[in-house]
Amino acid sequence: MPMAPRPHLRLVAPDSAGAWLSAEALGCERGERELFTALDVALAPGEILQVEGDNGTGKTSLLRILAGLLEPSAGQVRWKGADIRELREAYRAQLAYVGHKDGLKAELTPRENLAFAIALSGRAPKQTPDAVLEHMGLSAHADDPVAQLSAGQRRRVALARLLSIPATLWLLDEPFTALDQHSIVRVEEMLRTHVQAGGMAVVSTHRALQVPCRRVRLATGSP
Amino acid sequence: MPMAPRPHLRLVAPDSAGAWLSAEALGCERGERELFTALDVALAPGEILQVEGDNGTGKTSLLRILAGLLEPSAGQVRWKGADIRELREAYRAQLAYVGHKDGLKAELTPRENLAFAIALSGRAPKQTPDAVLEHMGLSAHADDPVAQLSAGQRRRVALARLLSIPATLWLLDEPFTALDQHSIVRVEEMLRTHVQAGGMAVVSTHRALQVPCRRVRLATGSP
Amino acid sequence: MFAGNALASLLAPPRFYRFSGVVLPWLSVLCAALFALGLYSGLVLAPPDYQQGDSYRIMFVHVPAAWLSMFAYLILAGAGFMALVWRIKLAEAVAAGVAPIGASFTLLALVTGALWGKPMWGAWWVWDARLTAELILLFLYLGYIGLQSAIADTRQAARAGAVLALVGVVNIPIIHYSVIWWSTLHQGPTVSKLDAPSIHASMLAPLLLMSAAFLLVFVIALLLRTRAELLARERRSAWVQALLEGAP
Amino acid sequence: MTAVRAMLQRDLRLAWRRRGDLLLPVLFFVLVASLFPLAVGAEPQRLQSLAPGIVWVAALLAALLALETLFRDDFADGSLDQLLLSPGSLSALVGAKVLAHWLVSALPLVLLAPLLAVLFRLPDEAMSVLVVSLLLGTPVLSLLGAVCVALTVGLRRGGFLLTLLVLPLYVPVLIFAAGSVATAAVGASPAAHLYFLAALLVLAATLTPFAIAAALRIGAE
Amino acid sequence: MTAVRAMLQRDLRLAWRRRGDLLLPVLFFVLVASLFPLAVGAEPQRLQSLAPGIVWVAALLAALLALETLFRDDFADGSLDQLLLSPGSLSALVGAKVLAHWLVSALPLVLLAPLLAVLFRLPDEAMSVLVVSLLLGTPVLSLLGAVCVALTVGLRRGGFLLTLLVLPLYVPVLIFAAGSVATAAVGASPAAHLYFLAALLVLAATLTPFAIAAALRIGAE
Ligand code: HEM
Ligand SMILES: Nc1ncnc2c1ncn2[C@@H]1O[C@H](COP(=O)(O)OP(=O)(O)OP(=O)(O)O)[C@@H](O)[C@H]1O
Ligand SMILES: Nc1ncnc2c1ncn2[C@@H]1O[C@H](COP(=O)(O)OP(=O)(O)OP(=O)(O)O)[C@@H](O)[C@H]1O
Ligand SMILES: [Mg+2]
Ligand SMILES: [Mg+2]
């Protein structure tokens, strides 16, 4: 079916001069389908951007583009003005990404998984794995293989990474999946302290965040 | 560590005489861990049981036991008084199960997936695949391979099965995962009409259901 | 179902545990006596072979080990069947217990066979039908053990193993008849021919004694392993708890 | 009955959607068979005497690799749960699945085998025996393999374990099938071997569907 | 550097947790090698002359199967995304992964090969050449294989496709390696073959890590 040209979609903050993460005229195609065109993003320290949108509007795709995992079909993502494809390692060092998938090894324990994530980040951790697991209410499971944890417990281990790796920009794709109420509150708390300390976050979720943030809806992907 | 015996946990409806689905003294062990012991369940036509509980307390395990997919370590599940292990096909003909995983073939289209689900059920469908997809707002994607749908769109296809297969008992494991607000309302509506027509449902979820139901919390699995 | 229930109560784990505890000491004594007799008659009384000299005496280990390796598989499959159909817990424990024992006897048969093969055929190994079949038997055991260790839940593992063991049972007749179906280097049936064993009585007697002794070793090992399996599987049950409290 | 037909149809349709993959078992078969001349040298006489064995080993390995796709995907995407909960007879459904799998992964090998036989200069009598032995033998491989896949379906890294479980079960088929071709190649009658293969096929076709169904219920817990 | 060490350590630890699986490549190797005598007949002379080829084909197939476990799991559980987002050098990380994989899946084969050589009655001079050829050749197999796995990692059913990509790349290794053993078995000097293998190894070790890293970025989109 022929598509009417989409309106230019602007996610720009009112004052976009101070933005560290910015993207202009991003376009994304998956398969044959055009998800969005001419999407602008700008995010300054201390801000959270909540990406909403119906199923299939491209939230996950947008986050992967911002992380540099997916090539946009048009436009480019910039970090402090420089194209992230040129920055490479320098950009990745600022980043913590929690996707749909948890990124944990099922045979290792939560503690080992975290220790590896820290080593991989190549920087001194903000907190030790033990402290972080304690904070996420997982001390009792710190030495069980992750394979034996339930869906929500695994999700908590994945999110625990955020507390130990020093990163300015958090990219979180539906972080609340499978979490119980306590944990949701705890994660929102984490987001709050992160931005208060000058961090930034892009969060895709269907629940309204209980944290001050800019909210943005992606246009419906299909009629 | 030595375990204190758990209190007997009763999920019995006030009037358990009319219960069609019942289970006495169910026990469940996964790996080395005892999730629950002496759990009773009773569900009569027109009722919904919402299973809550923190992550890892055994909601998924309970649903799989009720479906006959997992052997309980103690006790048995009964349908109209008869052990489901002896009823076999007769019980399964009453059942519709939507688990954590969607149960869709990624290479087939939503329409083909539904047609197969109907054939597998061996009964005349309540509604045609087209009508059901229309109702779930997926008409535009009816002929795309499921691989190209987003997480929430896939979930909707999985739930669409409920509308086409005639089943008395619905077992739904976190049906709202990845759904947007519209779809959540739609699924709650589906649950309402199902029980008004004399159906039953067991639903595990972390969100409070906006439908009259009995709610039940599984005890915390671990300290 | 009824037969199953009756059988299950007859084979209840505590009952088996008590019974096996009583017979084990007697079996051990008997086993030691048979070994003494068998070794004396096999190594001292039996004459050297006119062709093979003394090297044939390895037969007194090789043949019982080979027989038991196959016998153990039949037990594995039988116990598996009972575990699968009647869900008898004792059968699950027996199956889990017998597999490593069977694998050990298979390995013993392979090693003693190879040791015997060097003087007899001039090679440790030939790709002869029976030898290969015995090697395959080892792999069947290893597959069973691998499957057991890959599945975390013991009851699930027992039922999965049972299906595998039952399917694998086809190989047993193939091992046994391999010498008849294909012309092989390996000895044809010498002892087990029903009509007249083609082996001299002075060699047959020690072989039979040693076979009986090995059979007892097998039974004792099986009882011990099964008891240990039962304790581990039933550690939460009342009877094991009582047993533990009874112990100092 | 509709459920069984739908099952067969669905799996064939899936195979068609992935039709690029249809070629792969065949290519694997040819590639493995052609590795041997590379590895052992290419003297015609020697190759000819090795041909039955090589072709059958290649077919067996192709069957083994193809097993991966039998239930693994269904388990991963949750379709298997739906099969297990279907009110129809599970063994019939499973039979349909194995049939579809054989049609897609093994039948092309059987059709291609004569070509390989020509490359290895197998005599004509042996060639027809090769085809018959493949026709009788490969379904047994699929059925036995299905039992083992079903058992390992829930395990994370089943690949090698599967191999360990499957290969010992495949050995009798290999011996009789390669034996039949080798006998035919030297001019003797392969009837005894082929009867034995046929007997194995009948046995497997009648018994294994139940074993597969039982194994699936256990494996998918 | 800590990241690279952590990578190696993590993969070795994972292998240890799954230590049951450590045996499997070895068992597969032995099983496949023992299929041949069953399929082609057991005359010692003939087997002896086939031995280098059989052992190397078995090693190659074991290496091929082992590839499945190289990045597939990391992709499925999302660890691969984390690797790609790590600020360290991806090619170094990937090098560590391939090294761990070789240590776990191929080194045991090398250690076991002498036993197979005895079973096939390979002469003693040929035995040491067999071991050296495996030591030089199997790392090349792991490295080349890793490139192909990386390319197919996002595809649902990569198994056969992978085989198809990999086997042609493996052919040169197979020819020179099996050739070296065969030359040694007839008493000639295998030096030329072995030098060539060594050259292949140096080339692969220096170039492929970059190729693997690039392929991963493409494959994981
Ligand atoms: C690695 C090499 C060998 C293996 C794997 C092997 C395996 C076996 C097996 C499985 C049996 C039991 C067969 C049955 O009862 O159906 C057996 C029996 C026997 N083996 Fe061996 N064998 C090996 C070498 C030898 C050698 C070198 C000799 C002596 C020449 C030998 C002599 C015998 C005899 C006499 C029997 C008893 C046969 C009977 O009466 O049933 N074996 N062997
Ligand atoms: N690998 C792919 N190939 C082709 N199309 C794809 C692929 N992945 C996603 N899509 C398409 O891209 C669209 C957006 O997908 P995406 O996962 O970004 O959506 P989303 O907003 O995260 O949805 P949800 O809320 O359901 O997670 C979907 O409509 C889907 O059809
Ligand atoms: N295959 C398994 N092997 C061993 N233990 C398991 C297995 N699956 C689950 N468990 C354990 O069982 C417990 C309950 O798991 P289950 O998936 O039933 O929880 P849940 O209530 O559904 O949790 P969630 O809300 O996170 O989905 C978990 O603590 C986990 O440790
Ligand atoms: Mg998404
Ligand atoms: Mg759950």
What is the mean pLDDT of the segment spanning B63-82?
91
Note whether D42 contacts B: Cβ–Cβ < 8 A.
no
For residue E170 the two structure tokens come to: 């493996």
pLDDT band at C105 (very low <50, low <70, confident <90, very high): very high
Find out whether the beta carbon of B220 lies less than 6 Å from any atom of ligand 2.
Answer: no
CA–centroid distance, A30 to ligand 2, in Å, is 7
CA E79 to chain centre: 23
Question: How many whole angstroms separate alpha carbon C129 and alpha carbon C175?
Answer: 8
Domain end among A128, A144, A166:
A166
- Whether the CB-CB separation of A58 and A37 falls below 8 Å is answered with no
Residues 6 or more apart whose Cβ sits within 8 Å of residue B91: B68, B79, B84
Domain that holds residue C221: 22-246
The preferred substitution site among B57, B62, B65, B207 for testing ligand 3, maximizing ligand atoms within 8 Å of CB, is B57
Tell me the pLDDT of chain E averaged across its residues. 87
Residues of B in contact with C153 (CB under 8 A): 29-31
The reply to whether A189 falls in a domain is yes
Span E90-139, pLDDT tens digits: 999 999 999 999 999 999 999 989 888 888 888 888 889 999 999 999 99
Which atom of ligand 1 is nearest the CA belonging to C177?
16
Q: Give residue D188's pLDDT.
A: 84
- Whether the CB-CB separation of B178 and B158 falls below 8 Å is answered with no
Q: Give residue E134's pLDDT.
A: 94
> Which of C124, C139, C142 shows the shortest C-beta gap to E118?
C124
Most confident of B88-92, B142-146, C99-103, E185-189: C99-103
> Which of E49, E56, E161 shows the shortest C-beta gap to D24?
E161
Question: How many whole angstroms separate alpha carbon C23 and alpha carbon C226?
Answer: 14
Q: Give residue C33's pLDDT.
A: 94
A143 and A209 housed in the same domain: no
Note whether B71 contacts C: Cβ–Cβ < 8 A.
yes
B118 and B199 housed in the same domain: no
Judged by CB atoms closer than 8 Å, whether chains meet at B69 and D13 is answered as no
- Whether the CB-CB separation of A190 and A137 falls below 8 Å is answered with no
SS3 of residue D40 by DSSP: helix
Residues of D in contact with E36 (CB under 8 A): 53, 57
Span C42-56, pLDDT tens digits: 888 888 777 777 778
Domain that holds residue A115: 104-166
A5 and A87 housed in the same domain: yes
SS3 of residue B74 by DSSP: strand
B123 and B153 housed in the same domain: yes
Q: Give residue E47's pLDDT.
A: 80
Question: How many whole angstroms separate alpha carbon D39 and alpha carbon D62?
Answer: 19
Span E180-215, pLDDT tens digits: 988 888 888 889 999 999 999 999 999 999 999 999
Which atom of ligand 2 is nearest the CA belonging to A222?
29
3-state helix, strand, coil in chain A (%, to 5): 35, 25, 40
**Sequence spans of domains, chain E:** 2-219
Question: What CATH code is carried by the domain that includes residue B45?
Answer: 3.40.50.300
Tell me the pLDDT of chain C averaged across its residues. 85
B120 and B179 housed in the same domain: no
What is the mean pLDDT of the segment spanning C120-130?
80
Best C115, C121, C127 member to test E by mutation, with max E CBs in 10 Å, is C127
Note whether B64 contacts A: Cβ–Cβ < 8 A.
no
pLDDT band at C64 (very low <50, low <70, confident <90, very high): very high
Q: Give residue A197's pLDDT.
A: 93
B152 and B173 housed in the same domain: no
CB < 8 Å & 24+ apart, contacts of D198-202? D198/D136, D200/D136, D200/D137, D200/D140, D200/D172, D200/D173, D200/D176, D201/D136, D201/D137, D201/D139, D201/D140
Q: Give residue E152's pLDDT.
A: 84
pLDDT at A15 over 60: no
Ligand 4 ion local residues (Cβ < 5 A): A 59-60; B 151
B157 and B219 housed in the same domain: no
The reply to whether C29 falls in a domain is yes
Question: How many whole angstroms separate alpha carbon C14 and alpha carbon D184?
Answer: 59
Q: Give residue B201's pLDDT.
A: 95
Residues of C in contact with B31 (CB under 8 A): 152-153
What is the mean pLDDT of the segment spanning A97-109?
91
Residues of B in contact with D13 (CB under 8 A): 108, 112
- ipTM of this complex > 0.90? no
SS3 of residue E218 by DSSP: helix
Residues of A in contact with B33 (CB under 8 A): 148
pLDDT at A211 over 60: yes
- Whether the CB-CB separation of E4 and E96 falls below 8 Å is answered with yes
**Chains touching chain B, criterion 3+ CB pairs below 8 Å:** A, C, D
Find out whether the beta carbon of C52 lies less than 6 Å from any atom of ligand 1.
Answer: no
pLDDT at A121 over 50: yes
B33 and B134 housed in the same domain: no
Kindly report the three-state secondary structure assignment for every residue of chain C.
CHHHHHHHHHCCHHHHHHHHHHHHHHHHHHHHHHHHHHHHHHHHHCCCECCCECHHHHHHHHHHHHHHHHHHHHHHHHHHHHHHHHCCHHHHHHHHHHHHHHHHHHHHHHHHHHHHHHHHHCCCCCCCHHHHHHHHHHHHHHHHHHHHHHCCCHHHHHHHHHHHHHHHCCHHHHHHHHHHHCCCCCCCCCCCCCCCCCCCHHHHHHHHHHHHHHHHHHHHHHHHHHHHHHHHHCCCCHHHHHHHHHCC
**Closest residue in E to C122 (Cα–Cα):** E121
Nearest CA to ligand 3 atom 29: B56
pLDDT along chain D (221 residues), means of 10: 90 87 79 79 77 88 86 88 92 95 92 87 87 95 95 76 88 88 85 91 94 91 77
Question: What CATH code is carried by the domain that includes residue C37?
Answer: 1.20.120
- B 10-69 near C (Cβ less than 8 A): 29-31
What's the domain count of chain A?
Answer: 2
H/E segment holding residue E173: helix E158-185
How many CB pairs lie under 8 A apart between chains B and C? 7
Judged by CB atoms closer than 8 Å, whether chains meet at C135 and E38 is answered as no
Q: Give residue C7's pLDDT.
A: 67
Judged by CB atoms closer than 8 Å, whether chains meet at B104 and D87 is answered as no
CA–centroid distance, B60 to ligand 3, in Å, is 7
Q: Give residue E168's pLDDT.
A: 84
Measure B103 CA to nearest chain C CA, in Å.
23
Q: Give residue D175's pLDDT.
A: 85
The reply to whether B118 falls in a domain is yes
Q: What percent of chain A has pLDDT over 70?
A: 91
CB < 8 Å & 24+ apart, contacts of A33-38? A33/A221, A33/A222, A33/B148, A34/A3, A34/A6, A34/A73, A35/A61, A35/A218, A35/A221, A36/A6, A36/A9, A36/A62, A36/A218, A36/A219, A37/A5, A37/A6, A37/A74, A38/A6, A38/A8, A38/A9, A38/A74, A38/A75
Span C137-184, pLDDT tens digits: 999 999 999 899 888 788 889 999 999 999 988 888 887 887 666 656
What is the mean pLDDT of the segment spanning A123-127?
89
For residue A109 the two structure tokens come to: 């324990």
Note whether D91 contacts B: Cβ–Cβ < 8 A.
no
A1 and A36 housed in the same domain: yes
Angle, helices C59-86 vs C171-181, to 10°: value is 140
Q: Give residue A17's pLDDT.
A: 63
The reply to whether C222 falls in a domain is yes
Ligand nearest the Cα atom of residue B55 = 3
Residues of E in contact with D168 (CB under 8 A): 31
CA–centroid distance, D182 to ligand 1, in Å, is 27
Question: How many whole angstroms separate alpha carbon A171 and alpha carbon C217?
Answer: 64
What is residue B93's DSSP assignment? T
Q: Give residue B21's pLDDT.
A: 92
Within chain B, what is the greatest distance between any pair of CA atoms?
A: 57
Span B162-209, pLDDT tens digits: 999 999 999 999 999 888 888 999 999 999 999 999 999 999 988 888
pLDDT at E156 over 70: no
> Which of E6, E10, E85 shows the shortest C-beta gap to A92?
E85
Find out whether the beta carbon of A166 lies less than 6 Å from any atom of ligand 2.
Answer: no
Measure C167 CA to nearest chain D CA, in Å.
8
Judged by CB atoms closer than 8 Å, whether chains meet at C126 and E31 is answered as no
Q: Give residue B10's pLDDT.
A: 53
pLDDT at A3 over 50: no
Question: How many whole angstroms separate alpha carbon A187 and alpha carbon A194?
Answer: 10
What is the mean pLDDT of the segment spanning E168-180?
89
Note whether B179 contacts A: Cβ–Cβ < 8 A.
yes
Ligand nearest the Cα atom of residue B155 = 2
Residues of E in contact with C132 (CB under 8 A): 34, 37-38, 42
Most confident of A21-30, A182-191, D20-29, E145-154: A182-191
What is the mean pLDDT of the segment spanning E44-68?
84
Find out whether the beta carbon of A106 lies less than 6 Å from any atom of ligand 3.
Answer: no
Which atom of ligand 3 is nearest the CA belonging to B53?
21
Q: Give residue B11's pLDDT.
A: 57
A158 and A185 housed in the same domain: no
Backbone angles phi, psi at A98, to 5 degrees: -120, 110
Q: What percent of chain C has pLDDT over 70?
A: 88
Q: Give residue D37's pLDDT.
A: 79
> Which of C129, C137, C147 shows the shortest C-beta gap to D165?
C147
Residues of C in contact with B30 (CB under 8 A): 153
3-state helix, strand, coil in chain D (%, to 5): 85, 0, 15
A134 and A82 housed in the same domain: no
**Closest residue in D to B96 (Cα–Cα):** D85
Note whether A112 contacts E: Cβ–Cβ < 8 A.
yes
The reply to whether C5 falls in a domain is no
For residue C8 the two structure tokens come to: 């299950």
How many CB pairs lie under 8 A apart between chains B and D? 78
- Range scoring the smallest mean pLDDT among A101-105, B124-128, C48-52, C218-222: C48-52
Most confident of B195-209, C115-129, E42-56: B195-209
Nearest CA to ligand 1 atom 38: C189
What's the domain count of chain C?
Answer: 1
Question: How many whole angstroms separate alpha carbon C166 and alpha carbon C81?
Answer: 7
Q: What percent of chain A has pLDDT over 90?
A: 52
Question: How many whole angstroms separate alpha carbon B118 and alpha carbon D3?
Answer: 9
B153 and B176 housed in the same domain: no
Q: What are the DSSP calls for E185-212, one per residue?
A: HTT---HHHHHHHHHHHHHHHHHHHHHH
The reply to whether B99 falls in a domain is no
- Whether the CB-CB separation of E133 and E162 falls below 8 Å is answered with no
Ligand nearest the Cα atom of residue A153 = 3
Residues of D in contact with E57 (CB under 8 A): 32, 35-36, 39
Question: How many whole angstroms separate alpha carbon A116 and alpha carbon C193?
Answer: 64
Neighbours of E106 (CB within 10 A): 23
CA–centroid distance, A62 to ligand 4, in Å, is 9
Find out whether the beta carbon of A64 lies less than 6 Å from any atom of ligand 2.
Answer: no
pLDDT band at B3 (very low <50, low <70, confident <90, very high): very low
- Range scoring the smallest mean pLDDT among A213-222, D46-55, E28-37, E98-107: A213-222
**Closest residue in E to D48 (Cα–Cα):** E40
Which atom of ligand 1 is nearest the CA belonging to C56?
29
Q: Give residue D156's pLDDT.
A: 67
What is the mean pLDDT of the segment spanning E141-160?
82
